[in-house]
Amino acid sequence: MIKKVSVEKEKCIHCGMCLNDCILGVLEFDENKNPRYRENGENLCLACQHCMAICPTGALSFGDKNPANSIETGNYDSDEFLRLIKSRRSVRKYKNENVPKDKLDKITEMLKFSPTGCNKDNLHFSVVETKEKMEEIRKLTYEKSISSKNPTPSMETAKQAFQNGDDIIYRGATSMVAVAIDKSKTVPGCETADPIIALAHLDLYAQSLGLGTLWCDMALIAANEIPEVYSLLEIPENYSLNYILLLGVPAVKYKRTIQPERFSIKLLK
């Protein structure tokens, strides 16, 4: 059995924060007030790393994760973040150029930190990096929809638009991220929530990088209805495709926010 949590006793100040923050309460103090697993705690541990993250002195390590290699948390500008949320728009026009490699690298690094509702490593992300790969997917999609004798209403609409010169599925995007979930690790509710939580974080982060995004039902329908397109996404076996977010360098720039009044909000006292 591999020990997950280890403690540098000379650093530990016995504050108990790691015990109190443990999701399942699998830690306890030993006779010297050093943290350790409770009986069978190691088998119950979710590997969430909360204990390592909250330790004020960096005394707890998790597996081969050294707290010294983690990023220090800080204070963030809430007004700027709110402005980002208010400013984000769906983008349906993109420049015919690749998303810069350094921005894709930042996106793939960000995806590692996607939170989940069930604390499981249950997601897979297929990131289309180049406009050439996107063109391969786009071409195959429309070829199959045009050649189909019995296209679904969605694919029939897409086919007719494409014949008129409009790409209403991929909107000219040069990149996209498809998220799938491991069917063997799903928990009721999380099979839909976890992928959407991840893409919601990606959506805002991509916009902060100056990229455009679009939540794309049509791309999801195409992948699910056309086996060849699904195959190009290289979804691992036992994973189920959940959603697709288009990415690209926007060809439009929105000057101001909208002024929405579309949701019912009730403050309860």
**Nearest CA among 81, 35, 89 for reference residue 62:** 35
Q: What would the mean pLDDT of 256-261 be, rounded to a whole number?
A: 91
Q: What CATH number has the domain spanning 5-69?
A: 3.30.70.20
* CATH number at 78-248: 3.40.109.10
Which pLDDT does position 1 carry in this prediction? 44
Reported as a pLDDT band with limits 50, 70 and 90, residue 250 is very high
- Tens digits of residue pLDDT in 98-153: 999 999 999 999 999 998 887 778 999 999 999 999 999 999 999 988 888 787 88
β-bridge mates for residue 47, sequence order: none
How confident is the model at residue 69, as a pLDDT?
93
Q: What is the pLDDT of residue 2?
A: 53
pLDDT tens digits, one per residue of 159-213: 888 888 899 999 999 999 999 999 888 777 777 899 999 999 999 999 999 999 9
pLDDT of residue 3: 62
Domain boundaries, the chain: 5-69, 78-248
Q: What is the mean pLDDT of the chain?
A: 92
Q: Are 122 and 186 in contact (CB under 8 A)?
A: yes
